[in-house]
Structures are given as C-alpha cells and as structure tokens.
Amino acid sequence: MRLCVCLVLLSFILCASADKSPIRRGAEFARDAVGGAWDMYKAYRDMREANYKNADKYFHARGNYDAAQRGPGGAWAAKVISDAREKWQSDVSGRGAEDTRADQEANAWGRSGGDPNRYRPAGLPTKY
C-alpha cells in the first residue's frame, strides 16, 4: 500500500514538474500556425492596399517576421505559405527565378527575426 501511495505521489510530482504535455504543445503549435497564417494574410492585404512600387519584399519580410514571432507554429505556417506562393508564382505567373529568389530571401530574413524595414522602400506610408 505504501508503495502505491509513493508511486502516485511521485507521478503527481513528475506531472506537475513536466514542462508541457504533448497535447498542450500540439495545441500551442496549431494556435501559432493559425495566427501565423493570419499574419501572412494581413501583410498580403496591406500590400494590395498600399499598391506601392517596389514594396513587395518589405511585405514578404513583414508577414514572415510577424508570423515567426508567434513561435514555431507561426514560423512553420509562414514557410509553408511563402513556399507555396513562390512555387505558384514561378510556375504560373512567370515572373522569373530572380524575383522568386529575392522574395524567398526576404521571406527567410523575416522568419529569422530580421528587421523587415531592411526592405522598406522610401516613401511607403508609415501606416504600413
């Protein structure tokens, strides 16, 4: 009986001291991924609204930066969305490999925590 009580108490102590359960970590990853997708959408929406020449790299970097700040799930969502968009752009729109490479550089810069303002064009309204 004492052994059972000791095992139960030890189990409670281990569970209480555990960092996070796999279910909780999975839920946080999913929440961050949804939030990251929303950040990417907001950057895209702002880019379309601004309609400002040579600003696309800034919005690429900003969307990826905002998404990655949410955590691993946000960074994952940003990478998946960025890669899918660039694949579509290179396959369908025919903008060229150089533009795709520059976009991916801005995407990676933002995801790694780099300041998106590196790509900010002069004269872009401060709203963005």
Tens of pLDDT, residue by residue over 45-102, are 999 999 999 999 999 999 999 999 999 999 999 999 999 999 888 777 667 788 899 9
Contact 67, 111 (CB under 8 A): yes
Residue-level pLDDT at 33: 97
Q: How far apart are CA 33 and CA 14, in angstroms?
A: 29
Which token pair is 53? 């020449």
In tens, the pLDDT along 10-47 reads 555 555 555 678 899 999 999 999 999 999 999 999 99
Model pTM above 0.85: no
**How far apart are the C-alpha atoms of 59 and 40, rounded to whole Å?**
9
What was the pLDDT predicted at 97? Answer: 84
How high is the pLDDT of residue 88? 86
- Place 5 in a pLDDT band, splitting at 50, 70 and 90: low
pLDDT for the residue numbered 71: 97
Look at residues 86, 127, 120, 118 and name the one whose alpha carbon lies nearest to residue 103.
86
Dig out the tokens for 95 from the structure: 């903008």
Q: Report the CATH number of the 26-119 domain.
A: 1.10.132.110
Q: What is the per-residue DSSP string for 1-27?
A: -HHHHHHHHHHHHHHHHSS--HHHHHH
Please compute the mean of the pLDDT values over residues 89-117 and round it to a whole number.
90
